[in-house]
Amino acid sequence: MNGLNGTPVTDDFANGGVSFWYRQIGVPRRRAALPGSRDYDVAIVGGGYTGMWTAYYLKKAQPDLRIAILEKEFAGFGASGRNGGWLSAEFAGSRRRHAAARGRQAMIDLQHAMFAAVDEVIEVTRAEGIDADIHKGGLLHVATNPAQNRRLHAELADLRTWGFAEEDMRLLTREEREERIRTAGTLSAAYSPHCARIQPAKLAVGLARAVTDLGVDVFEGTTVTEIRPRDAGAVGEAGRAAAVTDQGTVTAEYVIRATEGFTASIRGQRRQWLPMNSSMIVTEPLGEEVWERIGLKDYELLGDEAHAYCYAQRTADGRIAIGGRGVPYRFGSRTDVRGATQPQTVAALYKIMTTLLPATAGARIQHSWCGVLGVPRDWCSTVHLDHATGLGWAGGYVGSGVTTTNLAGRTLRDLVLRRDTELTRLPWVGRQVRQWEPEPLRWMGVQAIYALFRAADRHENAQMGRTSAYARVANLISGR
Ligand SMILES: Cc1cc2nc3c(=O)[nH]c(=O)nc-3n(C[C@H](O)[C@H](O)[C@H](O)COP(=O)(O)OP(=O)(O)OC[C@H]3O[C@@H](n4cnc5c(N)ncnc54)[C@H](O)[C@@H]3O)c2cc1C
C-alpha cells in the first residue's frame, strides 16, 4: 500500500488526468475538429451538459435546424464528466433574490421546475438508452454539530414558506435516520426524494452519442477564442453572430456560450463567472460489512451542513466518491492543470470522509481529481438569449448544475424558437449580473471567504450552538 500525505491509497492510485468516472468507462475517442469555416443555424460553444442538452432539445423540436457544438477537448471533458453525480433539485442562488426580481410565485415555479427536471433527465436517458447508473434514492443532509443542526432546522422551516411540502424535504426521526445513514455524531438529518445518483461521464458520453445520432455536428479539439454579436443592420456574414475558433470561424443565427467554469478564457469574458475549483476522491470498492455499518442502502446522496460542505455518493460498484473545495480559486481566473488535485486536498477529503463515516477508516483511495465550476458575482445561475445580437448563454450553476443544465437546455430551446412558455418566464431567465472585481481583489476576496468558512467550521465543531460570526462575514463578502 502506498501513502499520500498519510492517506492510504491503492497501488494503482492516480491523481487527475481524467476523473475516475472516465477511468471506469474509458476516455472516448476524439471526434474530428472543425474542418474550416462553416455556417450553421445555431453554434454552441462547449460540449458539456448545457451545450448537449440545448442541442438535444433544439434538434428534437426542429429536426431541420443545423446545429454545431464546438468543444475544446472532448464532449464531457469539463465539470460534466467530473462531478459528484448528484442529479438533484437544488438550485444555485438566493430564493429571495429571484423572488425580489420576479415575485414569490416565480421562485416557487422555478423550484417545481427543478423537481420535474430530475425526472425529465431520468426519462430522457431511459428513452435514449443511456445507462448512467441512475438510481433515484433521494438526498440526505446531515448536521453533525449544534450550529449545523440549528441551520438545518431553520432551512427546513424556510423551505416550507417556498412551496416545499413535507414530502419534498423533511426531518427524519431518529429511527428513520439510523435506518438510512450511520454517520458519526449526527444530530439531525433531512431527506428529500428529489435526487438521483448518476455516473456523470456515462451521462456525458451517452448525451454526446444521442445528439450526434440526431444529426448535431460535434467538433472536438476546437477552441473558441472569441464570440461576436451580429451587426443587426448588416447583410451577409456581418449580419450573423460568430464563434471564432483556432480551426476557422463559425457564423450562425445564434451562438450559445456553454463554457461554465472555463468562460474566463474567452475574449472579453474574464470577469464574468469566477472559475471555482472542486475536488473529489474515490475509494476502492468497500466490503458489504462496511456498507452494513454505513447504510445508504437506497444509494441516497449524502451531504453535510458545513460551510465548506462535502458531497458524497455510493457508486454502483460500492465505493464512496466524496468531494469538497480544495484550493478554490487560482489567481487571474486560471483553471487547474489537467484535473490533478493537491495532496493536502486528498488528505483533507479523506479526513472528512473518515470523520463523517468512521466505517471507512482504512479504506484506500484509488483516484483523486478536480474540476472547475462557474460562479457569478451574485451566486445565482442565469440563462439568457438576446435576439438582437444573436448571443445566448446559460450557466453560473455554482455547484448545482447536473440537473439545472437540463432546465437550461429546454429553456434555451424555447428562447431560440421564440416560444413564450412557462420555462421562459422563470425568474432566472434574462437576469443581468454584475462582473467580478478585477485582480488582485478577486483573488483576495475568494481567499478570505474560504479562510473564514474554514474558521467557522472549526468554531462550530467546537460545539458552538449558533452559526459562527466568521461565516456571516464570509457570506457578506461573497455577496451571496
Ligand atoms: C468536482 C465537481 C463536482 C460537482 N458535483 C456536482 C454534483 O454532484 N451535482 C451538481 O448538480 N453539480 C455538480 N457540479 C457542477 C456541475 O458538474 C456543473 O454545473 C455542470 O456539469 C456544468 O455543465 P456545463 O456544460 O455548463 O459545463 P462543463 O461541463 O464544464 O462544460 C464546458 C465545456 O466547455 C469546453 N470549453 C471550455 N472552453 C472552451 C473554449 N474556449 N472553446 C470550446 N470549448 C470550450 C470545456 O472543455 C467543457 O467541455 C460539480 C462540479 C465539479 C467540478
Could you report the average pLDDT of every consecutive run of 10 residues in the chain (480 residues)? 80 93 97 98 98 98 98 98 97 89 92 97 98 98 93 93 91 95 91 98 98 98 97 83 97 98 92 91 97 97 90 98 82 76 91 95 96 92 96 96 98 98 96 88 83 84 79 79
**Looking at ligand 1, which residue's alpha carbon is closest to its atom 34?**
46
For residue 300, give the nearest of 122, 87, 139, 132 by alpha carbon: 139
Residues 287 and 320 in one domain: yes
**Looking at ligand 1, which residue's alpha carbon is closest to its atom 18?**
401
* In a domain? residue 428: yes
> Using an 8 Å Cβ cutoff, are 279 and 368 in contact?
yes
Q: Give the chain's domain count.
A: 2
* In a domain? residue 107: yes
Best of 373, 382, 407 to mutate for ligand 1, by most ligand atoms within 8 A of CB? 373
Residues 333 and 363 in one domain: yes
Report the pLDDT value the prediction gives residue 337, as an integer from 0 to 100: 66
Residues 321 and 426 in one domain: yes
* In a domain? residue 68: yes
Residues 475 and 399 in one domain: no
* Ligand 1 atom with minimal separation from the 258 CA: 26
**363 phi and psi angles, rounded to 5 deg:** -65, 140
Q: Which of 436, 451, 471 is the last residue of a domain?
A: 436
Report the pLDDT value the prediction gives residue 309, as an integer from 0 to 100: 84
Q: Whole domain around residue 477: which residue ranges?
A: 440-480
> Using an 8 Å Cβ cutoff, are 195 and 88 in contact?
yes
Q: Which of 436, 451, 468 is the last residue of a domain?
A: 436
Where are the extended beta strands (E) located within 116-267? Answer: 139-143, 170-171, 188-192, 195-197, 217-219, 224-228, 241-245, 248-257
Helix (H), strand (E) at residue 11: strand 7-15
244 bridge partner residues: 226, 249
| CA–CA separation, 206 and 217 (whole Å) | 15
C-alpha atoms less than 13 angstroms from C-alpha of 50 in its C-beta half-sphere: 31
Residues 8 and 28 in one domain: yes
* Ligand 1 atom with minimal separation from the 204 CA: 29
Report the pLDDT value the prediction gives residue 456, as an integer from 0 to 100: 84
CA dihedral (291, 294, 300, 303) positive or negative? negative
**C-alpha cell of residue 284:** 476502492
For residue 374, give the nearest of 349, 401, 392, 336 by alpha carbon: 401
Best of 22, 207, 262, 384 to mutate for ligand 1, by most ligand atoms within 8 A of CB? 262
We report the CATH number of the domain holding residue 376 as 3.50.50.60
> Using an 8 Å Cβ cutoff, are 456 and 470 in contact?
yes
Residues 210 and 236 in one domain: yes
* In a domain? residue 156: no
Residues 289 and 330 in one domain: yes
C-alpha atoms less than 13 angstroms from C-alpha of 258 in its C-beta half-sphere: 34
Residues 410 and 456 in one domain: no
* In a domain? residue 38: yes
**71 phi and psi angles, rounded to 5 deg:** -125, 130
| CA–CA separation, 477 and 410 (whole Å) | 34
**Looking at ligand 1, which residue's alpha carbon is closest to its atom 31?**
48
Question: What's the CA-to-centroid distance between 32 and ligand 1, angstroms?
Answer: 21
Residues with CB under 6 A from ligand 1: 45-51, 70-73, 77-80, 82-86, 88, 223-224, 258-262, 265-266, 278, 280, 311, 323, 371-373, 395, 397, 399-403, 405
Residues 3 and 97 in one domain: yes
Question: What's the CA-to-centroid distance between 48 and ligand 1, angstroms?
Answer: 6
Question: What's the CA-to-centroid distance between 203 and ligand 1, angstroms?
Answer: 13
For 281, residues 6+ apart whose C-beta sits below 8 A from its C-beta are 321, 322, 323, 346, 349, 350, 353, 365, 367, 368
Report the pLDDT value the prediction gives residue 81, as an integer from 0 to 100: 98
| CA–CA separation, 213 and 403 (whole Å) | 22
> Using an 8 Å Cβ cutoff, are 141 and 301 in contact?
no
Report the pLDDT value the prediction gives residue 128, as an integer from 0 to 100: 98
Residues 213 and 266 in one domain: yes
Question: What's the CA-to-centroid distance between 228 and ligand 1, angstroms?
Answer: 23
For 338, residues 6+ apart whose C-beta sits below 8 A from its C-beta are 16, 17
Report the pLDDT value the prediction gives residue 216, as an integer from 0 to 100: 98
* In a domain? residue 13: yes
Question: What's the CA-to-centroid distance between 261 and ligand 1, angstroms?
Answer: 6
* In a domain? residue 345: yes
Question: What's the CA-to-centroid distance between 171 and ligand 1, angstroms?
Answer: 31
**Looking at ligand 1, which residue's alpha carbon is closest to its atom 21?**
80
Question: What's the CA-to-centroid distance between 260 and ligand 1, angstroms?
Answer: 6
Q: Which residue has the cell 500500500?
A: 1
Residues 334 and 468 in one domain: no
| CA–CA separation, 252 and 236 (whole Å) | 11
> Using an 8 Å Cβ cutoff, are 194 and 69 in contact?
no
* In a domain? residue 284: yes
> Using an 8 Å Cβ cutoff, are 121 and 406 in contact?
yes
Report the pLDDT value the prediction gives residue 446, as an integer from 0 to 100: 83
Residues 466 and 323 in one domain: no
For residues 239, 242, 246 and 247, what is the CA-based torsion angle, rounded to 10 degrees?
-70
* Ligand 1 atom with minimal separation from the 73 CA: 47
